[in-house]
Amino acid sequence: MADHNALPLVVLTEQFARLPGIGMKTAERLAYYMISRSEEEVSAFAEALYAAKREIRYCSCCQNLTDQELCPICADDRRDHGTICVVEGPKDVTAFERTNEYNGVYHVLHGLISPIDGVMPNQLKIRELLARLQKEDVREVIMATNPTVEGDATAMYLARLLKPMEITVTRLAFGLPVGGILEYADEVTLFKALENRNEM
Amino acid sequence: MADHNALPLVVLTEQFARLPGIGMKTAERLAYYMISRSEEEVSAFAEALYAAKREIRYCSCCQNLTDQELCPICADDRRDHGTICVVEGPKDVTAFERTNEYNGVYHVLHGLISPIDGVMPNQLKIRELLARLQKEDVREVIMATNPTVEGDATAMYLARLLKPMEITVTRLAFGLPVGGILEYADEVTLFKALENRNEM
């Protein structure tokens, strides 16, 4: 921004530009938008930032983000605590909850093993998962990490770690996405769909 | 967002989703990003919001956003105060300043006349422009509103208003954008470029 712009506006623009996926142009637009809002609206935004940072922590059991000691899913007795779905992040929990089909509980790793990005197993919430498996009576652990190199590596690493514990370890099925078009599917997906075909 | 999500996170997501051009998915991503930042970084963002809203006001002369009584451009004696470039918003001032070619001053209307959107002339900073023209010794007013229906209407409205004051009123030139490709130019632009052709 040119130096004729007021400093507080430049500072706010820079703050917006730090957000992932927000460039300088968009940041400028958002900064102008914010100061066009009423004082109450700006306060509400700033307070929401403070409150989220102050009140959100990890669930002591599944490590998902929550504002309580135990998140609503872990605290829910009607859910099956013998099935743990292991996911990369809180957004994956939201995705599974949207299906309304999963009745087990979760474990959020907060990342995937990725030596290239410098993410090693001890930086993920794996210790907490092992502690849970030792304490609780778990029948099945579902590896629900992304079907990517990092997701597969993390699933494989955990499966090997869990093998001596005599717990069933499963992985999400790979195949054609529902509503997808066969001719646009990549080779690996198509191969997986063929390999995992089911009798009709 | 599903109800398993913590309330402060839902509130923050909704705040982000109110920003123009930010949908629910992006808002969710930004909310998660913010709580992954350190407390200092979150405070810096919230403080930047408060500071911008608290300190930014309209320049008493040109109505551009500034944190002083008079903005740096209006306060600059080396600029030509006899030429006023009338623009829709603060971002247009930034655009002109980037050219490093304009040495006059500005007047920011903060909108364009648009009966469809309910924006009437009295909601724009037109009264302030007329007051300036009566007080100061202005030779030329450049209408630099967008080449749109609203921009043209606003320019025409102002030109008529200024006619009795014996001030030269000009409008930005229309023509091919530099680096543009002729075959992709729309008919109106091409017609304007032809009409306003210059001798070489």
Angle between helices A126-135 and A149-162 in degrees, nearest 10? 30
Q: Which residues of A fall within a CB distance of 8 Å from B8?
A: 48, 51-52, 54-56, 67
Name the residue among A102, A96, A158 with its Cα closest to residue A125: A158
Query: Which of B152-170 are b and which e, b meaning 16 or more Cβ less than 10 Å from the residue's Cβ?
Result: bbbbebbeeebeeeeeebe
Give me the residues paired with residue A57 across strands.
A66
pLDDT at residue A3, as a whole number: 60
Please state which of the ranges A104-113, B73-82, B184-193 shows the lowest mean pLDDT: B184-193
B4 → closest Cβ in A6, A28, A72:
A72
Dump pLDDT digits (tens) for A143-192: 999 888 999 999 999 999 998 988 999 988 888 787 777 777 788 888 87
pLDDT at residue B18, as a whole number: 95
Largest CA distance in chain A: 70
pLDDT at residue B99, as a whole number: 83
Interface test with A, best of B13, B19, B67 (most A CBs within 10 A): B19
CATH entry, B7-55, from 1.10.8.420, 3.40.50.920, 3.40.1160.10, 3.90.10.10: 1.10.8.420
pLDDT at residue A184, as a whole number: 79
What value does the mean pLDDT take over residues A88-92? 90
More reliable by pLDDT, B139 or A174? B139
Q: Look up residue A21 and give its amino acid.
A: G
Asked whether B130 and B167 are in contact (CB, 8 A), the reply is no
Q: What is the pTM of this model?
A: 0.74
Q: What's the rounded Cα separation, in Å, for the pair A91 and B36? A: 13
pLDDT at residue A126, as a whole number: 95
**Domain boundaries B76-199, corresponding CATH code:** 3.40.1360.10
Domain ranges of chain B: 7-55, 76-199
Sign of CA dihedral B86, B87, B89, B95: negative
Query: How confident is the prediction for chain B on average, in pLDDT?
Result: 89
**pLDDT confidence bin for A2, thresholds 50/70/90:** very low
Q: Would you call A73 an interface residue with chain B, using a CB distance cutoff of 8 Å? A: yes
ipTM exceeding the 0.90 mark: no
Q: Would you call B48 an interface residue with chain A, using a CB distance cutoff of 8 Å? A: yes
Angle between helices B39-55 and B24-36 in degrees, nearest 10? 120
